[in-house]
Copies of this chain bind each other. A is one copy, B any other.
Amino acid sequence: MEFGQEGSQKVDNSAPRWPFIVPRFKNTIKRIIQFAKTVKKIGDDDPRRIAHSFKVGFALTLVSIFYYVTPLFASFGVSTVWAVLTVVVVMEYTVGGTLSKGLNRAFATLLAGALGVAAHQIAVLCGDKGEPVLLGLFVFVLAAAATFSRFIPEVKAKYDYGVMIFILTFSLVAVSSYRVDELIELAHQRLSTIAFGVATCLGTSIFVFPVWAGEDLHKLVADNLEKLACFLEGLAAEYFAEKGATEDMDGKSFLKVYMSVLNSKPTEDFLANLARWEPRHGRFLFRHPWSQYQTIGVLSRQCAYLMDALATFITTLPKHKPNMDQDRHLMIQTACGEMSSESAEALKELSLAIRTMTTPALANHHASNAVAAMENLKDALSKEINILPNDLHMATTASFLDLLVIRIQGITSSVEELARLAHFRRLEPVRDAKIKPIADGEDVIIDLEK
């Protein structure tokens, strides 16, 4: 802001001379500052983005050295531009992205190049007049068939880029074969430079500050479970607490925390698709069960849908004041609070277990507690002879929690399945625990560290 003020002071002196320019100039400076802030935020949010930008610059400069060094240029000629082109289009943010594009490009070029040369050999047999016609026909048929294959979901997910490069290379080879005489040499040069470009991209991607799609997926799934936990924690602390009975819930931040989970499907699917291309890295072995993350994702979203419905219910429909029978109201409220906080604990345990890659130890215990609280409440309610209309609101909330508790049981099993499939570490059971004597009136602290 200081910069902006300084600028406007200077301009104020010249105001009489250019009255129209002054406000525009101020506006421009404001916009530039705003833009700089946005850029800074994007970099601060994830510094790996800055590293990625430098990596692209580095890889490009590396391949362009090819061009500047005379002996290297002599052996590859104008084909060197294909290395530059390859780096620009193949270099992706994640290792999986670069690998998927690079391998797609390399294999598609190889296959299409070979087919293109074969098409040329066949076309030559048809004489001078037949050659362009036959080449045109080949291009038409192969391009149409390959384009159609991009509509097949499996091809679209894994090989979309490869099919595009296939059409591209086949057309280029088939078309230019009509004019270029040293076709084989050209194909060889082009393939070598593309391989060199792909190798540069892969090297930079894997060895310079690598960004692993698998790791991002792993974190995303753990973060999402944490967000669901925050919602339930907030509910227990603010809505089912005593003060919450009358407080207005509109605008509470915990009622929005699950929102990003609702639309997490495309990101999860995208990352899972790329993660499958990545080699073993860190604690992620080859054939890590990536699809299990997608299963947990589906269950997390179903939870988030329920939370959205519950949040709408809490904020849209007015809460009745508790009626005369305070005891029953308190009983339902306490049970709901317990269901929420135990479910929140279970989800936090699961999120931590994924983050630390250890078998979840206490999650099942918390989930069972939530189920027990739910069963107790149901028992108590079925013994009541009647429920006053005023209690309906709280009873409906209890039904929502009931569904959430069941869903969270499902999430617990699927995270346990992930732990089994991915061989998460099993924490050693605690053998001996020290009990520290403390002052009266405080809780006893049991030190579980060995």
Q: Is B171 a contact of A316 with CB atoms below 8 Å?
A: no
Instruction: Kindly state the separation between the CA atoms of A245 and B43 in the bound complex, as whole angstroms.
Output: 58
Proximity bits, A291-332, B CB within 8 Å = 1, else 0: 000000000011011101110110011000000000000000
The answer, among B88, B136, B145, B384, for a CB contact under 8 Å with A164, is: B88
Interface footprint category on A: 35 or more
Query: Given contacts A73-B179, A88-B164, is CB(A317)–CB(B403) below 8 Å?
Result: yes
**Given the complex, which residues of B lie within 8 Å of A39, measured CB to CB?**
148, 152
Proximity bits, A234-276, B CB within 8 Å = 1, else 0: 0000000000000000000000000000110110000000000
Q: Is B381 a contact of A392 with CB atoms below 8 Å?
A: yes
Q: Is A317 a contact of B399 with CB atoms below 8 Å?
A: yes
**Given the complex, which residues of B lie within 8 Å of A381, measured CB to CB?**
389, 392
Complex: chain B residue closest to A132, CB-CB:
B68
Instruction: Kindly state the separation between the CA atoms of A26 and B381 in the bound complex, as whole angstroms.
Output: 62
Q: How far is the CB of A263 from chain B (nearest CB, A)?
A: 5
Instruction: Kindly state the separation between the CA atoms of A38 and B156 in the bound complex, as whole angstroms.
Output: 14
Complex: chain B residue closest to A399, CB-CB:
B396
Q: Does A75 contact B (CB under 8 A)?
A: no
Q: Does A435 contact B (CB under 8 A)?
A: no
Chain copies in complex: 2
Proximity bits, A145-180, B CB within 8 Å = 1, else 0: 101100110000000000010011001101110110
Q: Does A121 contact B (CB under 8 A)?
A: no
Q: How far is the CB of A35 from chain B (nearest CB, A)?
A: 9
The answer, among B61, B68, B265, for a CB contact under 8 Å with A263, is: B265
Q: Is B302 a contact of A65 with CB atoms below 8 Å?
A: no
**Given the complex, which residues of B lie within 8 Å of A448, measured CB to CB?**
none
Q: Is B56 a contact of A144 with CB atoms below 8 Å?
A: yes
Instruction: Kindly state the separation between the CA atoms of A175 and B386 in the bound complex, as whole angstroms.
Output: 84
The answer, among B58, B85, B132, B387, for a CB contact under 8 Å with A172, is: B85
Give the 5 A-B CB pairs with smallest separation, nearest first: A386-B386, A57-B144, A309-B309, A68-B132, A53-B148
Identify 10 residue pairs between A and B in the complex whose beta-carbon atoms are under 8 Å apart, listed by A's number.
A39-B148, A49-B148, A56-B143, A56-B147, A64-B135, A64-B136, A306-B309, A309-B403, A316-B406, A384-B389
Given A52-B147, A305-B309, 19 more pairs with CB closer than 8 A: A38-B152, A57-B147, A61-B140, A64-B136, A65-B136, A67-B179, A78-B176, A81-B172, A88-B167, A302-B308, A302-B312, A306-B309, A306-B312, A309-B309, A317-B399, A382-B389, A385-B388, A387-B392, A392-B399
